[in-house]
């Protein structure tokens, strides 16, 4: 989600108890629907298991969902152990603390309705800052097509403008949020996205756009160039997108001028959660196999270590779980979901400018392009709200594929050259200080989950079902929330399941 992501001095919410209470257990309808009783698996190894450690609950993954599950299970009296493949906590929450302003390479703004995130920040001593006042500068950007800057005043009559009627006056990034705000088929009932009565909407965004009167050229311009979800309008369900926008609008309805970030970076929240667990979190434990019988479950790591528990909570994203041997194999719709669910292709570049080139050429700081630069957004997180500390470049879909095929050093050079070609005033003033490809990260294999057309209908009631003694969490299993809050929701639900079963 392209939202403000880090703060310098801002408005602390250390005294937002009322907001926290209002949002603490927001949107929990349907959470327990996924707590189906675990059936015994049919096969297991024939000799006793030898484990490096045993516990009541083994949590795989020290991202937000896994850490929330660990704390909830521990609070419920279970002996827990967390293992994480990376050498850090946070999963897809990653703060680049070595870059001015601490930009986010993962989870971004925390909305007013992120009750679990807000609770966790308060519980574990992380200060939250309101960064909403910095948002306007983030979204100041110039349109660039075919390498040429097109001024907003020129756009309505420009030959590349394929829009019709009132949309003719809109910049390419404006029709999508407008349509999803005024014609969202879910309206304010965002939880209806997983109700079978909504499954008729589980069609491609391309088909939904056509139903709204857009032609192919307009769809290309309004969606495919810089895809918010998926790689094109053909490979993402309009039901997922409608849910995303309806849920996002709910956040703004709760408190319109509120977007928060953890002081020092959003990763400070999972870091604090992991620290509170102490030596119960083991890092550099890449899981390669998960096995379960009717009584116990175990996880085998690439280094040969084995962890055994009565229950496993697995937060591995499905795109990465495909590379883990499951014994027994996950059957049916849930197994197909693991094998086929989509994932967002996303690579981010974080650029620091040695001098403010945007004051020299008179253009807006950011860029929205149809080239390798992608969507370049200013990050105003200095001491003053208008102080730009870095730029985040969002490369999605085909752009991410193109960049990821290059060696990192070559990719950085190509990105800098792309910006300089558009803005000669930036020549010699840019440095790529941060670079993150989520789809080449073996522990995620992409960013957030993408529900492809038909997959909400086919998989939504199955993705979170326990498989023997293995339970699942992660934002891809959440029902009522998105992103970081969805991850927290799923961890809470999984902990409830195992505590009820122990």
The domain spanning residue 468 has which CATH number? 3.50.50.60
Q: With respect to residue 113, please indicate whether it lies within any of the assigned structural domains.
A: no
Q: Which H, E and C letters describe 91-158, residue by residue?
A: CCCCECCCCCCCCECCCCCEECCCHHHHHHHHHCCCCEEECHHHHHHHCCEEEEECCEEECHHHHCCC
Where does the pLDDT of residue 51 fall: very low under 50, low under 70, confident under 90, or very high at 90 and above?
A: low
Q: With respect to residue 456, please indicate whether it lies within any of the assigned structural domains.
A: yes
Q: With respect to residue 470, please indicate whether it lies within any of the assigned structural domains.
A: yes
Q: With respect to residue 443, please indicate whether it lies within any of the assigned structural domains.
A: no
Nearest to 27 by CA among 113, 123, 122: 113
| 3-class secondary-structure state, position 173 | coil
Question: What is the domain extent for residue 310?
Answer: 30-92+271-339+452-501
- CA-angle at 171, arms to 167 and 173, nearest 5°: 105
- CA-angle at 146, arms to 395 and 357, nearest 5°: 70
DSSP 194-242: GSGGGGGG-SBHHHHHHHTT--HHHHIIIIITT-SSSSSTTSSBHHHHH
Q: What are phi and psi of 9, to 5 degrees?
A: -60, 135
User: How far apart, in whole angstroms, are the C-alpha atoms of residue 180 and residue 240?
Assistant: 12
CA torsion 310-284-482-319 (nearest 10°) is -90
Region label for 285, one of left (φ > 0), alpha (ψ between -120 and 50) or beta (otherwise) = beta
Nearest to 101 by CA among 7, 4, 9, 2: 7
Q: With respect to residue 74, please indicate whether it lies within any of the assigned structural domains.
A: yes
Where does the pLDDT of residue 38 fall: very low under 50, low under 70, confident under 90, or very high at 90 and above?
A: very low
User: How far apart, in whole angstroms, are the C-alpha atoms of residue 415 and residue 395?
Assistant: 10
Q: For residue 402, with 0-12 CB atoms within 10 Å meaning exposed, 13-18 middle and 19 or more buried, which class applies?
A: middle
Q: Is the pLDDT of residue 79 over 50?
A: yes
Q: With respect to residue 308, please indicate whether it lies within any of the assigned structural domains.
A: yes
Residue whose entry in the numeric block shows the structure tokens 């700081």: 365
Residue whose entry in the numeric block shows the structure tokens 């956040």: 251
Confidence (pLDDT) at 52: 58
Q: Is the pLDDT of residue 6 over 70?
A: no
Q: Is the pLDDT of residue 11 over 80?
A: no
Domain count, the chain: 1
Identify the helix (H) or strand (E) that includes residue 377: strand 375-379
Interacting residues of 208 by C-beta distance below 8 A, sequence separation 6+: 201, 238, 241
Nearest to 407 by CA among 376, 442, 437, 370: 437
Q: With respect to residue 345, please indicate whether it lies within any of the assigned structural domains.
A: no
User: How far apart, in whole angstroms, are the C-alpha atoms of residue 328 and residue 261?
Assistant: 41
Interacting residues of 448 by C-beta distance below 8 A, sequence separation 6+: 92, 343, 344, 475, 476, 483
Q: Is the pLDDT of residue 63 over 50?
A: yes
The arithmetic mean of pLDDT across residues 263-275, rounded, is 97
- How crowded is residue 431: how many other Cβ atoms within 10 Å of its Cβ? 13
User: How far apart, in whole angstroms, are the C-alpha atoms of residue 372 and residue 412?
Assistant: 11
Confidence (pLDDT) at 16: 35
CA distances (Å), origin 465, targets 330, 423, 444: 10, 51, 21
Q: Is the pLDDT of residue 21 over 80?
A: no
How many residues are present in the chain? 502
Alpha helices in 350-454 (DSSP H): 358-361, 398-404, 408-422
Q: What are phi and psi of 361, to 5 degrees?
A: -95, -5
Q: What is the model's pTM?
A: 0.90
Q: What is the pLDDT of residues 328-361, one digit of tens each?
A: 999 999 999 999 999 999 999 999 999 999 999 9
Q: With respect to residue 412, please indicate whether it lies within any of the assigned structural domains.
A: no
Q: Is the pLDDT of residue 110 over 70?
A: yes
User: How far apart, in whole angstroms, are the C-alpha atoms of residue 321 and residue 308?
Assistant: 19
Evaluate whether 349 touches 435 at the Cβ level (below 8 Å).
yes
By percentage, how much of the chain surpasses pLDDT 70? 89
Where does the pLDDT of residue 235 fall: very low under 50, low under 70, confident under 90, or very high at 90 and above?
A: very high
Residue whose entry in the numeric block shows the structure tokens 């298991």: 49
Region label for 362, one of left (φ > 0), alpha (ψ between -120 and 50) or beta (otherwise) = left
The arithmetic mean of pLDDT across residues 182-186, rounded, is 96
Tokens representing residue 249 in the block: 């609008």
Residue whose entry in the numeric block shows the structure tokens 């050079």: 413
Nearest to 239 by CA among 211, 203, 197, 191: 203
Q: What are phi and psi of 98, to 5 degrees?
A: -95, 5
């Amino acid at each position: 989600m392209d939202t403000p992501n880090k703060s310098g001095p801002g408005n602390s919410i250390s005294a937002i108890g009322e907001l926290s209470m209002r949002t603490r257990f927001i949107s929990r309808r349907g959470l327990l629907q996924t707590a189906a009783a675990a059936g015994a698996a049919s096969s297991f190894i024939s000799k006793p298991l030898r484990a490096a450690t045993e516990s009541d609950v083994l949590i795989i993954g020290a991202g937000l969902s896994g850490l929330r599950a660990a704390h909830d299970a521990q609070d419920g009296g279970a002996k827990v152990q967390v293992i994480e493949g990376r050498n850090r906590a946070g999963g897809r929450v990653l703060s680049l603390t070595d870059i001015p302003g601490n930009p986010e390479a993962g989870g971004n703004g925390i909305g007013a309705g992120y009750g679990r995130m807000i609770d966790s920040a308060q519980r574990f001593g992380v200060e939250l800052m309101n960064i909403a006042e910095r948002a306007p500068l983030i979204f100041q950007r110039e349109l660039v097509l075919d390498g040429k800057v097109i001024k907003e005043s020129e756009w309505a009559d420009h030959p590349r403008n394929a829009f019709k009627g009132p949309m003719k006056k809109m910049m390419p990034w404006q029709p999508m949020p407008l349509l999803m705000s005024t014609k969202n088929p879910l309206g304010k009932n965002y939880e209806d996205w997983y109700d079978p009565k909504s499954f008729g909407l589980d069609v491609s965004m391309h088909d939904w756009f056509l139903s709204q009167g857009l032609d192919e050229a307009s769809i290309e311009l309004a969606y495919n160039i810089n895809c918010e979800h998926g790689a094109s309008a053909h490979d993402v369900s309009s039901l997922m997108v409608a849910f995303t926008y309806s849920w996002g609008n709910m956040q703004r309805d709760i408190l319109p001028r509120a977007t928060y970030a953890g002081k020092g970076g959003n990763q400070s929240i999972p870091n604090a959660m992991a620290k509170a667990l102490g030596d119960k979190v083991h890092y550099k434990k890449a899981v390669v196999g998960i096995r379960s019988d009717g009584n116990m479950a175990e996880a085998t790591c690439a280094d040969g270590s084995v962890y055994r528990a009565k229950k496993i909570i697995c937060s591995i994203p499905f795109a990465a779980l495909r590379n883990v041997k499951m014994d027994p194999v996950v059957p049916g719709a849930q197994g197909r979901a693991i094998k086929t669910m989509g994932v967002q292709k996303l690579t981010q570049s974080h650029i620091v400018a040695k001098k403010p080139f945007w004051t020299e050429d008179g253009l807006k700081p950011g860029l929205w392009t149809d080239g390798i630069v992608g969507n370049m957004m200013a990050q105003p997180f200095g001491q003053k709200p208008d102080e730009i500390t870095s730029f985040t470049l969002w490369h999605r879909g085909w752009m991410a594929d193109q960049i990821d095929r290059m060696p990192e050093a070559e990719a950085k050079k190509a990105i800098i050259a792309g910006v300089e070609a558009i803005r000669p005033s930036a020549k010699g003033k840019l440095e790529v200080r941060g670079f993150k490809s989520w789809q080449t990260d073996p522990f995620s294999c992409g960013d957030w989950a993408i529900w492809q057309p038909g997959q909400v209908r086919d998989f939504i009631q199955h993705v979170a079902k326990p498989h023997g003694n293995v339970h699942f969490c992660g934002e891809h299993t959440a029902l009522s929330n998105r992103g970081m809050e969805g991850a927290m929701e799923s961890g809470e639900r999984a902990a409830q399941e195992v505590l009820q079963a122990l």
